[in-house]
Structure 1
Amino acid sequence: MVKYKKIAQDLRHEILSGDYTPGQQLELEKDMCGRYGVSRITVRRAVDELVHQGLVVKRRGAGTFVKSLKDEDVKELGMAHQFSGFAAAFAGHEVTSEILRFDIIHPQREIAAKLQISPDSFVYDIARVRSVDGCPVVVEYTQMPIGLIPGIQRSVLESSIYRYIEQELKLHIQSAHRKVRAVMPAAEEKQELRITGDLPLLEITQVAFLDDGRPFEYSISRHRGDWNSFRSVSIR
């Protein structure tokens, strides 16, 4: 195993085993160089691995800090170097969005904690049905802080929120913590997704982060179980 991957593996183990606490700063580069007997370049590559895994965040001029994983009960992290969103995932197909709800509300205390904002703050409260080639495949329930993601309009919801965030707001999406489980659809979800019978849904609860560590999205998406499959890569 190359040195930077071994260092990344050691640090990952220390983070997940609790040797580092959420919000705690990692060792300085010079200290890790001495600890492992390697160059700064090797240490930086190791830390970049942890950034890509969604375990830590770099803060310019301050250092590298451990993300909070406890609330999301993360045991294995999917690897993703780029978050392109639903529309880009089905490029080449006709992707449409039906807006069921678009309001501005105060978040519930639990959701506010996940978004690291006050319950008195305002969030977009969005519900959409996403369809591919005319077939509805997922119902999305999303909340985003207005202070962090300003200016969302219906036209954005009808296309791609992620594209708006990265291309218009010039923010960079980096990682997401997810929980996946099977659930039965509510009556209105059966109607929106054109489900007959007892077809289960695949529910994904997600908190998504920008590259500076700020959570910008709390969402629950419920996917038709006969239409979607999800793959992840786990790192030991």
Structure 2
Amino acid sequence: MLKYELIAERIESLINNGHYEAGDKLPSVEVLRSEFNVSKSTIINALKNLEKTGLIYQARGSGIYVRNPKRDGFVNLFTADGFSDEFKGHDVTSKILKVAEIQPEDEVKQQLKLKDNDSVYLVDRIRYLDGEVFCIETSYFSKNVVLYMNEEIANGSIFHYIENNLKVKVGFTDIYFNIGKLNKKDATHLELNEGDPSLEYEQIFYTSTGIPFDYSKIIFHYENSRFYIPSIK
């Protein structure tokens, strides 16, 4: 983890623990720099990270303030974190449907910018939030970046494994939404009825150097999923 991310985590902890509440003004950049004994650029990057995730806002000429907290149980669509990090304090579990090394179809090759002989790890999971079905997740991981995958890893936080074990820095993500209706197979996995509405999205994750490594298709349970977009100008 980079230094500015560690500082962002420490400031986030102060906010989450009630040291700073919604509407409170944070110390200035110079005061934070001195308090954490880091460079000014590190503090600026940490604040940008917190602003992007919707924890703070910066008012020009006035200072840095704590935003209203995100409603509990909502997915922040403007973050590249996995569900385990997004729902800290909740029980996030998985049912593994399939983990396999495969030769990808053309669509996956295109999204992950793969060559003809490149293979991927396919991970099919049903994700649960506090015991309730949350979504179906079908992910394709480029073996050029994600060197190994098995059911034990897929049962936990894949992103923790990628960042902590493989030392891959996750950078950003592209998301494409689609509203549809469930087919029989997906409805069965989600414990819903065929033809029920669904929010589907395709998500491509990139490393901090811009290399696509994860192409995922996610179908959310329309009754158990809620979303949050922290907009900044």
Fold agreement, TM-score > 0.5:
yes
Distance (Å, rounded) in 1 between the aligned partners of 2:113 and 2:231: 27
**Correspondence for 2:202 among 200, 205, 210:** 205
Aligned counterpart, 1:59: none
Aligned counterpart, 1:123: 120
Shift of 1:110: 2.4
Gaps of 5+ in 1: 1-40, 54-77
Q: Secondary structure at the match of 1:156?
A: helix
Aligned counterpart, 1:155: 152
Aligned counterpart, 1:217: 214
> 1:202·1:222 contact (CA, 8 Å) conserved in 2?
yes
Do structure 1's residue 105 and structure 2's residue 105 form an aligned pair? no
Q: Secondary structure at the match of 2:227?
A: coil
Q: Secondary structure at the match of 1:150?
A: coil
Aligned-residue CA RMSD (Å): 2.6
Query: How many residues get paired?
Result: 166
Aligned counterpart, 2:165: 168
> 2:132·2:224 contact (CA, 8 Å) conserved in 1?
no
Alignment of 1:176-195 (within 5 A): 176-195=173-192
Letter in 2 for 1:165: I
CA offset digits 1:31-60 (Å, max 9, x no partner):
xxxxxxxxxx99xx89xx8xx99xxxxxxx
Aligned counterpart, 2:8: none
* CA distance 1:185–1:170, change in 2 (3 Å): same
Aligned counterpart, 2:223: 226
TM-score by length of 2: 0.64
> 1:107·1:120 contact (CA, 8 Å) conserved in 2?
no
Gaps of 5+ in 2: 1-39, 53-76
Distance (Å, rounded) in 1 between the aligned partners of 2:94 and 2:187: 17
Alignment of 1:35-184 (within 5 A): 79-80=78-79, 83-184=80-181
Distance (Å, rounded) in 2 between the aligned partners of 1:219 and 1:118: 19
Distance (Å, rounded) in 2 between the aligned partners of 1:207 and 1:185: 22
TM-score by length of 1: 0.63
> 2:183·2:194 contact (CA, 8 Å) conserved in 1?
no
Q: Secondary structure at the match of 1:143?
A: strand
Letter in 2 for 1:228: S
